[in-house]
Amino acid sequence: MLRAAVCVSGGGTNLQAIIDGIAQGAVAHTEIVRVLCNNPGARALERAKEAGIETVCVSPKDYADRAQFEEALVRSVDEVSPDLIVLAGFMVKVPVEMIKKYENRIINIHPSLIPAFCGTGYYGIRVHEAALARGVKITGATVHFVDEGMDTGPIIKQKAVKVYENDTPESLQKRVMEEAEWVLLPWCINHIAAGKVKVENGRVTVME
Protein backbone atom coordinates (compact mmCIF):
# COMPACT_ATOMS: atom_id res chain seq x y z
CA MET A 1 0.00 0.00 0.00
CA LEU A 2 1.35 3.42 -0.99
CA ARG A 3 0.81 5.88 1.85
CA ALA A 4 0.31 9.32 0.37
CA ALA A 5 0.20 12.73 2.03
CA VAL A 6 -1.58 15.31 -0.12
CA CYS A 7 -0.79 19.03 0.23
CA VAL A 8 -3.46 21.52 -0.83
CA SER A 9 -4.24 25.24 -0.66
CA GLY A 10 -7.54 25.97 -2.37
CA GLY A 11 -10.41 24.35 -4.21
CA GLY A 12 -9.10 20.82 -3.93
CA THR A 13 -10.47 19.51 -7.20
CA ASN A 14 -7.26 17.59 -7.82
CA LEU A 15 -7.49 16.12 -4.33
CA GLN A 16 -11.06 15.12 -5.20
CA ALA A 17 -9.86 13.41 -8.38
CA ILE A 18 -7.44 11.34 -6.29
CA ILE A 19 -10.11 10.51 -3.68
CA ASP A 20 -12.52 9.45 -6.46
CA GLY A 21 -9.78 7.51 -8.25
CA ILE A 22 -9.06 5.53 -5.09
CA ALA A 23 -12.79 4.92 -4.44
CA GLN A 24 -13.38 3.75 -8.03
CA GLY A 25 -10.25 1.59 -8.22
CA ALA A 26 -8.44 3.66 -10.89
CA VAL A 27 -5.82 4.42 -8.24
CA ALA A 28 -4.92 1.08 -6.72
CA HIS A 29 -2.87 0.18 -3.66
CA THR A 30 -2.99 3.77 -2.41
CA GLU A 31 -4.20 5.35 0.80
CA ILE A 32 -4.28 9.08 1.63
CA VAL A 33 -2.94 9.19 5.17
CA ARG A 34 -3.13 12.95 5.68
CA VAL A 35 -4.20 16.10 3.88
CA LEU A 36 -2.05 19.12 4.71
CA CYS A 37 -3.22 22.63 4.05
CA ASN A 38 -1.73 26.09 4.55
CA ASN A 39 -5.08 27.87 4.24
CA PRO A 40 -7.74 27.30 6.93
CA GLY A 41 -10.53 28.46 4.58
CA ALA A 42 -9.73 26.05 1.76
CA ARG A 43 -12.57 24.03 0.22
CA ALA A 44 -10.02 21.25 -0.09
CA LEU A 45 -10.15 20.73 3.68
CA GLU A 46 -13.89 20.09 3.53
CA ARG A 47 -13.41 17.62 0.68
CA ALA A 48 -10.89 15.68 2.77
CA LYS A 49 -13.16 15.67 5.81
CA GLU A 50 -16.11 14.52 3.71
CA ALA A 51 -13.96 11.58 2.60
CA GLY A 52 -12.98 10.79 6.19
CA ILE A 53 -9.33 11.73 5.71
CA GLU A 54 -7.32 13.30 8.50
CA THR A 55 -6.54 16.96 7.88
CA VAL A 56 -3.88 19.22 9.33
CA CYS A 57 -3.77 22.94 8.71
CA VAL A 58 -0.35 24.58 8.97
CA SER A 59 -0.89 28.27 8.30
CA PRO A 60 2.05 30.69 8.06
CA LYS A 61 -0.07 33.17 10.02
CA ASP A 62 0.27 30.99 13.12
CA TYR A 63 4.07 31.17 13.14
CA ALA A 64 6.49 33.96 14.02
CA ASP A 65 8.56 33.52 10.87
CA ARG A 66 9.05 31.47 7.74
CA ALA A 67 11.56 29.11 9.38
CA GLN A 68 9.08 28.13 12.10
CA PHE A 69 6.31 27.65 9.57
CA GLU A 70 8.53 25.41 7.44
CA GLU A 71 9.58 23.42 10.50
CA ALA A 72 5.93 22.80 11.40
CA LEU A 73 5.15 21.77 7.84
CA VAL A 74 8.00 19.27 7.71
CA ARG A 75 7.06 17.94 11.15
CA SER A 76 3.50 17.40 10.07
CA VAL A 77 4.64 15.43 7.03
CA ASP A 78 7.17 13.42 9.05
CA GLU A 79 4.51 12.42 11.57
CA VAL A 80 2.84 10.20 8.98
CA SER A 81 6.06 9.06 7.19
CA PRO A 82 4.45 9.02 3.76
CA ASP A 83 5.82 7.04 0.82
CA LEU A 84 4.70 9.84 -1.47
CA ILE A 85 3.89 13.54 -1.03
CA VAL A 86 1.46 14.90 -3.61
CA LEU A 87 1.31 18.65 -4.18
CA ALA A 88 -2.22 19.06 -5.50
CA GLY A 89 -2.61 22.82 -5.93
CA PHE A 90 -0.21 23.58 -3.06
CA MET A 91 0.78 27.23 -3.31
CA VAL A 92 3.73 27.07 -0.92
CA LYS A 93 7.38 26.75 -1.86
CA VAL A 94 8.35 23.41 -0.39
CA PRO A 95 11.07 23.67 2.29
CA VAL A 96 14.47 22.52 1.07
CA GLU A 97 14.73 20.17 4.06
CA MET A 98 11.60 18.37 2.90
CA ILE A 99 12.85 18.11 -0.69
CA LYS A 100 16.12 16.56 0.47
CA LYS A 101 14.43 14.17 2.87
CA TYR A 102 11.85 13.01 0.34
CA GLU A 103 13.95 13.01 -2.82
CA ASN A 104 11.97 11.64 -5.77
CA ARG A 105 9.01 11.10 -3.49
CA ILE A 106 7.31 14.48 -3.96
CA ILE A 107 5.19 15.08 -7.07
CA ASN A 108 3.48 18.26 -8.25
CA ILE A 109 0.78 19.04 -10.79
CA HIS A 110 1.29 22.17 -12.86
CA PRO A 111 -1.34 23.54 -15.25
CA SER A 112 0.83 23.99 -18.36
CA LEU A 113 3.15 22.00 -20.57
CA ILE A 114 6.43 22.58 -18.71
CA PRO A 115 8.79 24.35 -19.57
CA ALA A 116 6.14 26.79 -20.83
CA PHE A 117 4.48 29.11 -18.32
CA CYS A 118 6.13 27.75 -15.20
CA GLY A 119 8.51 28.93 -12.50
CA THR A 120 8.20 31.88 -10.15
CA GLY A 121 4.92 33.77 -10.47
CA TYR A 122 3.20 31.12 -12.59
CA TYR A 123 0.50 29.43 -10.57
CA GLY A 124 -3.24 28.90 -10.76
CA ILE A 125 -5.16 31.20 -13.10
CA ARG A 126 -2.02 33.25 -13.87
CA VAL A 127 -0.69 30.35 -15.91
CA HIS A 128 -3.75 30.43 -18.16
CA GLU A 129 -3.68 34.23 -18.43
CA ALA A 130 -0.09 33.98 -19.63
CA ALA A 131 -0.88 31.21 -22.11
CA LEU A 132 -3.71 33.27 -23.64
CA ALA A 133 -1.58 36.43 -23.70
CA ARG A 134 1.12 34.54 -25.62
CA GLY A 135 -1.46 33.14 -28.02
CA VAL A 136 -0.45 29.49 -27.74
CA LYS A 137 -2.75 27.06 -29.55
CA ILE A 138 -1.98 24.14 -27.27
CA THR A 139 -1.46 24.07 -23.53
CA GLY A 140 -1.98 21.29 -20.97
CA ALA A 141 -0.76 19.99 -17.67
CA THR A 142 2.38 18.35 -16.29
CA VAL A 143 3.08 16.06 -13.36
CA HIS A 144 6.69 16.16 -12.24
CA PHE A 145 8.92 15.25 -9.32
CA VAL A 146 9.85 18.20 -7.15
CA ASP A 147 13.45 19.28 -6.88
CA GLU A 148 14.95 22.43 -5.37
CA GLY A 149 14.03 24.60 -8.33
CA MET A 150 10.60 25.99 -9.22
CA ASP A 151 8.84 23.52 -11.55
CA THR A 152 12.22 22.15 -12.70
CA GLY A 153 12.08 18.54 -11.49
CA PRO A 154 11.94 15.41 -13.66
CA ILE A 155 8.75 15.23 -15.75
CA ILE A 156 6.59 12.14 -15.26
CA LYS A 157 3.72 12.76 -17.67
CA GLN A 158 2.11 15.54 -19.68
CA LYS A 159 -1.21 15.94 -21.44
CA ALA A 160 -2.02 18.50 -24.13
CA VAL A 161 -5.22 20.51 -24.28
CA LYS A 162 -6.44 22.70 -27.16
CA VAL A 163 -6.83 26.44 -26.71
CA TYR A 164 -9.87 27.97 -28.39
CA GLU A 165 -10.08 31.48 -29.82
CA ASN A 166 -12.86 32.54 -27.49
CA ASP A 167 -11.23 31.09 -24.35
CA THR A 168 -11.03 33.15 -21.17
CA PRO A 169 -8.50 32.26 -18.46
CA GLU A 170 -11.37 30.66 -16.54
CA SER A 171 -12.69 28.56 -19.44
CA LEU A 172 -9.16 27.42 -20.27
CA GLN A 173 -8.42 26.56 -16.63
CA LYS A 174 -11.61 24.50 -16.46
CA ARG A 175 -10.78 22.56 -19.65
CA VAL A 176 -7.16 21.93 -18.56
CA MET A 177 -8.45 20.58 -15.26
CA GLU A 178 -11.14 18.39 -16.77
CA GLU A 179 -9.17 17.05 -19.72
CA ALA A 180 -5.69 16.90 -18.25
CA GLU A 181 -5.16 17.45 -14.53
CA TRP A 182 -7.87 15.21 -13.10
CA VAL A 183 -6.72 12.40 -15.40
CA LEU A 184 -2.96 12.83 -15.11
CA LEU A 185 -2.54 13.07 -11.37
CA PRO A 186 -4.49 9.91 -10.44
CA TRP A 187 -2.79 8.10 -13.33
CA CYS A 188 0.67 9.03 -12.05
CA ILE A 189 -0.11 8.05 -8.46
CA ASN A 190 -1.47 4.71 -9.64
CA HIS A 191 1.70 4.03 -11.62
CA ILE A 192 3.95 5.11 -8.75
CA ALA A 193 2.01 2.83 -6.37
CA ALA A 194 2.50 -0.02 -8.82
CA GLY A 195 6.26 0.59 -8.84
CA LYS A 196 6.18 1.51 -12.53
CA VAL A 197 7.86 4.92 -12.28
CA LYS A 198 11.65 5.12 -12.18
CA VAL A 199 13.88 8.20 -12.00
CA GLU A 200 17.44 7.99 -13.25
CA ASN A 201 19.78 10.90 -13.96
CA GLY A 202 16.91 13.35 -13.82
CA ARG A 203 14.85 11.42 -16.37
CA VAL A 204 11.68 9.49 -15.68
CA THR A 205 10.74 6.17 -17.25
CA VAL A 206 7.19 4.91 -16.86
CA MET A 207 6.36 1.28 -17.58
CA GLU A 208 2.85 1.40 -19.00
- Cβ distance 125 to 140 under 8 Å? no
User: What span, in angstroms and rounded, lies between the C-alpha atoms of 86 and 6?
Assistant: 5
Catalytic residue at 110? yes
Least Cβ distance, residue 76 to ligand GAR (angstroms): 19
Least Cβ distance, residue 153 to ligand GAR (angstroms): 12
- Cβ distance 6 to 15 under 8 Å? yes
- Considering the candidates 29, 110, 144, 191, report the single residue annotated as catalytic: 110
User: What span, in angstroms and rounded, lies between the C-alpha atoms of 193 and 163?
Assistant: 32
Task: Find the distance separating the first CA and the last CA of the chain, reported in whole Å.
Answer: 19
What 3-state class would DSSP assign to 33?
strand
Amino acid (1-letter code) at residue 161: V
Q: Answer yes or no whether residue 144 interacts with ligand GAR by CB under 6 A.
A: no
Stretch that binds ligand GAR, among 7-15, 20-28, 53-61, 159-167 (CB under 6 A): 7-15
- Cβ distance 45 to 35 under 8 Å? yes
Q: Answer yes or no whether residue 139 interacts with ligand GAR by CB under 6 A.
A: no
User: What span, in angstroms and rounded, lies between the C-alpha atoms of 12 and 66?
Assistant: 24
Nearest residue to ligand GAR, scored by beta-carbon proximity:
89
**Per CB under 6 A, which of residues 69..128 are in contact with ligand GAR?**
88-89, 109-111, 123-124, 127
Residue whose C-alpha is closest to residue 40's, from 54, 19, 61: 61
Binding footprint of ligand GAR, residue count (CB under 6 A): 17
Stretch that binds ligand GAR, among 11-19, 23-31, 51-59, 74-82 (CB under 6 A): 11-19
What 3-state class would DSSP assign to 22?
helix
**Which of 4, 7, 12, 73 is the binder for ligand GAR (CB under 6 A)?**
12
Nearer to ligand GAR, 123 or 187 (CB): 123
Q: Answer yes or no whether residue 60 interacts with ligand GAR by CB under 6 A.
A: no
Please report, as ranges, the residues that interact with ligand GAR according to CB under 6 A.
Answer: 8, 10-14, 44, 88-89, 109-111, 123-124, 127, 177, 181
State the catalytic residues.
110
